[in-house]
Amino acid sequence: MSRTYVDPASITPARVRLSLFALAIGAFGIGTTEFVAMGLLPDIARDLLPDVYATNPELANSHAGWMITLYALGVVIGAPTIAAGVARFSRKTVLFWLAVAFTVGTLATAVLPSFGWILAARFLAGLPHGAYFGIAALVAARLMGPEKRGRGITLVMTGLTVSNVIGVPLATSIGQSMGWRAAFLLVAGIFALTAVAVALVIPRVKGNSEQTLRRELTVFKRPQVWFAIGIGAIGFGGFFAVYSYLAPLGTDVAGIDPAHIPWLLATMGLGMTIGTLAAGHFVDRSVRRTLYGYFLMMVVVLIGLYFAAGWAPSLFIFIFLVGFASSGIGPAVQTRLMDVAGDAQSIAAALNHSAMNIGNAVGAFLGGLVIGAQLGYRAPIWVGLALTIAGILIVMASYRAQRHLAPHERV
């Protein structure tokens, strides 16, 4: 990779599009590796926990959900520490090595022999997640310019949502027919392709050569940063409480054939993709209205999902709506964090994914808890509703607290 830095303003529109596409490939891989376990939980549980599955399938599925929780915890820990530590390096170099790390971690998940080792591999595979998205968001925002930064961020995150239309259903189908390990081998290949694409097309954009780990960590002194983290960590947990157990909700509640679960996942992903693309325009107009609008939509949709989950056609409709309603929260929180973080942009951009994956861990854990308590596969929907309402309350508290700031400090 060249050592010559490039002025983003001098890059041609075609190179910008190629760069955004390369970043989106990585997001596609991340979305696939993060969410594919959700569609394969019964397969993973049967293979890695056969004794438990034979006597109590619900308990085995909830234990297999630890793969989701451990990956999410890896994101939570890795996002701020890696992003803060690499803030002064070339964005391209950092993105390349993060893609390599993803490849190694996902490959380890596919080949390690026991449940304990696989849990460790999932934790390690999660470490580069937030840093990749954070750095990719900064690169996209610089390439698109300040007036279109929301659209730049959402174009990268579209790779994440498209993964739920194509990557997750495809990997789930492969996992069901060839074994769940084959699905993770496919994802490792996507990350290897990402590393090549980053090396070939991403311009060499400077990091902040004067930035230090200590300076980046000062972001945690800002109350509005904590509010934004809370919005993602609690509010977005409502989505993961439902998504983590979507496969058994479809098979055991709606009576869907397991072979059709990839179509249910694709329906969720289609809703997420459309919602994300719409959110980019809304975020550029008003982050505040975007947060309120998507959260309130999520409340209505989750209530509808509870009553619609018993019939396959209505489940598909409401799963699409859940995907749409949830998808605007991520770009809005991402932009909010970048607005309130001051100079600590690298760690702020990554903290969004720490927040989201705290939500992932909390949602998956609480959802598994109510399932393990024999409350059924609809019970995580009420968990999701409670977390979503809590997210709305945190948004309200954040903007109420902002009123006490000086006018020039408000965003």
Q: At what angle do helices 261-285 and 287-308 cross, to 10 degrees?
A: 160
Q: How far apart are CA 219 and CA 355, in angstroms?
A: 14
Q: How far apart are CA 68 and CA 360, in angstroms?
A: 8
* Lowest-confidence pick of 89-103, 289-303, 356-370: 356-370
| Average pLDDT of span 186-197 | 93
- Express each pLDDT in 324-377 by its tens digit: 998 888 888 878 887 887 766 667 767 777 788 788 778 888 988 898 888 889
| Average pLDDT of span 208-215 | 63
Question: Is the pTM for the entire model greater than 0.85?
Answer: no
| Average pLDDT of span 149-157 | 72
Share of the chain above pLDDT 90, in %: 27
What is the CATH number assigned to the segment(s) 8-409? 1.20.1250.20
| Average pLDDT of span 290-294 | 92
- Express each pLDDT in 97-109 by its tens digit: 999 999 999 999 9
CB-count exposure of residue 154 (10 Å: 0-12, 13-18, 19+): buried
For tokens 């002064």, the residue is 88
For tokens 């308590």, the residue is 373
Give start and end residues of each alpha helix (H) in 112-212.
Answer: 115-126, 129-144, 149-162, 168-178, 180-201
Q: How far apart are CA 228 and CA 363, in angstroms?
A: 18
Task: Give ∠ CA 391-396-399 in degrees, rounded to 5.
Answer: 125
Residue-averaged pLDDT of the chain: 83
Give residue 299's pLDDT: 96
Q: Is residue 305 very low, low, confident or very high in pLDDT (cuts 50, 70, 90)?
A: very high
State how far Cα 374 lies from the chain centre.
28
Give residue 8's pLDDT: 56
Give residue 408's pLDDT: 43
**DSSP conformational letter for 341:** S
Give residue 1's pLDDT: 47
**DSSP conformational letter for 8:** G
| Average pLDDT of span 84-106 | 86
* Lowest-confidence pick of 39-53, 223-237, 287-301: 39-53
Q: How far apart are CA 79 and CA 135, in angstroms?
A: 10
For tokens 């990997």, the residue is 171
Share of the chain above pLDDT 70, in %: 90
Give residue 212's pLDDT: 61
Give residue 183's pLDDT: 92
Q: Answer yes or no: is pLDDT of 55 > 60.
A: yes
CB-count exposure of residue 301 (10 Å: 0-12, 13-18, 19+): buried
Distances (CA, A) of 27 to 107, 153, 334: 17, 11, 15
Please give the radius of gyration of the chain, using alpha carbons only, rounded to the nearest integer: 20
Q: pLDDT: is 206 or 156 the higher one?
A: 156
